[in-house]
């Protein structure tokens, strides 16, 4: 089952994405669960599945996609988690590299990504996002995947010239993290380490790997992270980017206004966004640009 968050005719909602359109769960379950995060917190995926056979209510092209989880309590990001990426950056530390991304730095599928005006090294990173579906702490690896609600695509836009010896400043500019278009529930992806993951910049394939190349796997990451912070339904773990990033190319390859950046992961879908300059976007620029635009 694929679930998405979106805006339709000025109303926020969420629903099941099917080949024929979207089954609007907000209309059916919104009185109990205001958004997708609330649905997960209420352990109500089984209720959503009851509507799988319903006729679509909305055309996919008629909605504006929001980040899959619009307001996660935590977004925990993993760096240097693919073998090729570690070689590119000469990373030798065996422990997981972690940093945080804030919820207000996100944008949805089809919406603009804003290139920070103070960066000349705005880089792409296609990643697998893990959405937590069940609370827990000190979660052992052999039970960790039972805490996962599903998986999505993430484009972790990085202002490299603001990272220096720490990552947070380079990762939290407004509308630089694209999340979507949907979440594929974990029952449809029993093994998250058999998925092809690819990134395109203006139609040129710039990253091409498989999630089986992760150094620290999803279950291990959940075990590690849950030792120092309690995970809650709706929290997101972004599991790292393969090699091929622009910073390490010769010459370097960075994103600029007018570029199209896309991330595709097997069994999940293809996340697509257009880059615009942040200093040309209104201060209140929203991540709800029409997905069809």
Round to whole Å and give the CA distance between 161 and 136.
36
Let me know: does 143 contact 230? Beta carbons within 8 Å.
Answer: no
In a domain, 233, yes or no: yes
Mention every residue, 6+ apart, whose C-beta is less than 8 A from residue 146.
Answer: 134
DSSP for residue 246: G
Q: What is the pLDDT of residue 172?
A: 95
Q: How many domains does the chain have?
A: 1
The pLDDT, as a whole number, for residue 293 is 33
Q: Note the pLDDT of residue 25.
A: 98
What is the number of other CB atoms lying within 10 angstroms of the CB of residue 1? 19
Q: For residue 56, tell me if it sits in a domain.
A: no
Among 170, 179, 206, 159, CA closest to 268: 179
Write the DSSP symbol of residue 231: B
CB distance 109 to 273 below 8 Å = yes
Number of Cβ within 10 Å of residue 235's Cβ equals 25
pLDDT of the residue at 283 = 60
pLDDT digits (tens, 9 = 90+) for 16-69: 999 999 999 999 999 999 999 999 999 999 999 999 999 999 999 999 999 999
For CA atoms 186, 190, 193, 197, give the dihedral sign.
negative
Identify the pLDDT of residue 94. Answer: 77
Tokens at 158, concatenated: 């990085």
Instruction: Classify residue 175: in a domain, yes or no.
Output: yes
Return the CATH number at 104: 3.90.850.10
Residue pointed to by tokens 């990001």? 77
Whole-prediction pTM value?
0.94
Token digits of residue 1: 């089952």
What is the residue-wise DSSP string for 44-69?
-HHHHHTTTTSPP-B-GGGSEEPPSS
Q: Which pLDDT tens digit goes with each residue over 259-291? A: 999 999 999 999 999 999 999 887 644 444 433
* Domain annotation covers residue 102: yes
**CA–CA distance, 67 with 190 (Å, rounded to integer):** 23
Q: Where are the alpha helices (DSSP H) in 120-252?
A: 141-144, 168-171, 218-225
Q: In the Cβ-directed half-sphere of 220, how many Cα atoms lie within 13 Å?
A: 11
Identify the residue whose tokens are 């693919």: 82
* CA 6/CA 70 separation, integer angstroms: 9
Nearby residues of 113 by Cβ (< 8 Å), 6 or more positions away: 107, 155, 157, 175, 176, 178, 255, 261, 273, 274, 275, 276
**Distance from the first to the final alpha carbon of the chain:** 25
| The pLDDT of residue 278 | 95
The answer to whether residue 117 is domain-embedded is yes
pLDDT of residue 70: 96
pLDDT string in tens for the chain (293-residue length): 999 999 999 999 999 999 999 999 999 999 999 999 999 999 999 999 999 999 999 999 999 999 999 999 999 999 889 987 777 777 777 788 899 999 999 999 999 999 999 999 999 999 999 999 999 999 999 999 999 999 999 999 999 999 877 788 999 999 999 999 999 999 999 999 999 999 999 999 999 999 999 999 999 999 999 999 999 999 999 999 999 999 999 999 999 999 999 999 999 999 999 999 999 887 644 444 433 33
Q: Which domain holds residue 192?
A: 68-280
């Amino acid at each position: 089952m694929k679930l998405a968050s979106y805006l339709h005719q000025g109303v926020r909602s969420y629903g099941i994405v099917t080949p024929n359109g979207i089954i609007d769960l907000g209309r059916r379950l919104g009185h109990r669960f205001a958004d997708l995060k609330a649905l997960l917190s209420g352990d109500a995926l089984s209720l959503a599945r009851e509507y799988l056979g319903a006729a679509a209510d909305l055309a996919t092209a008629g909605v504006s996609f929001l980040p899959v989880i619009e307001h996660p309590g935590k977004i925990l990001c993993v760096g240097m988690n693919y073998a090729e990426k570690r070689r590119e950056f000469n990373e030798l530390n065996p422990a997981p590299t972690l940093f945080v991304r804030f919820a207000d730095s996100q944008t949805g599928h089809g919406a603009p990504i804003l290139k920070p005006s103070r960066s000349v090294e705005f880089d792409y990173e296609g990643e697998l996002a893990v959405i937590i579906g069940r609370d827990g702490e000190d979660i052992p690896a052999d039970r960790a995947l039972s805490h996962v609600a599903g998986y999505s695509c993430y484009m972790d836009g990085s202002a490299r010239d603001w990272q220096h010896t720490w990552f947070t400043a380079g990762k939290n500019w407004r509308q630089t993290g694209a999340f979507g278009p949907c979440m594929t529930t974990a029952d449809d992806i029993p093994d998250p380490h058999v998925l092809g993951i690819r990134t395109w910049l203006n139609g040129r394939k710039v990253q091409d790997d498989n999630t089986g190349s992760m150094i620290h796997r999803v279950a291990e990451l959940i075990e590690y992270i849950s030792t120092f912070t309690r995970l809650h339904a709706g929290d997101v773990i972004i599991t790292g980017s393969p090699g091929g990033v622009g910073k390490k190319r010769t010459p370097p390859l960075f994103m600029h206004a007018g570029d199209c950046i896309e991330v595709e992961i097997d069994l999940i879908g293809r996340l697509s966004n257009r880059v615009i300059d942040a200093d040309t976007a209104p201060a209140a620029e929203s991540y709800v640009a029409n997905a069809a635009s």
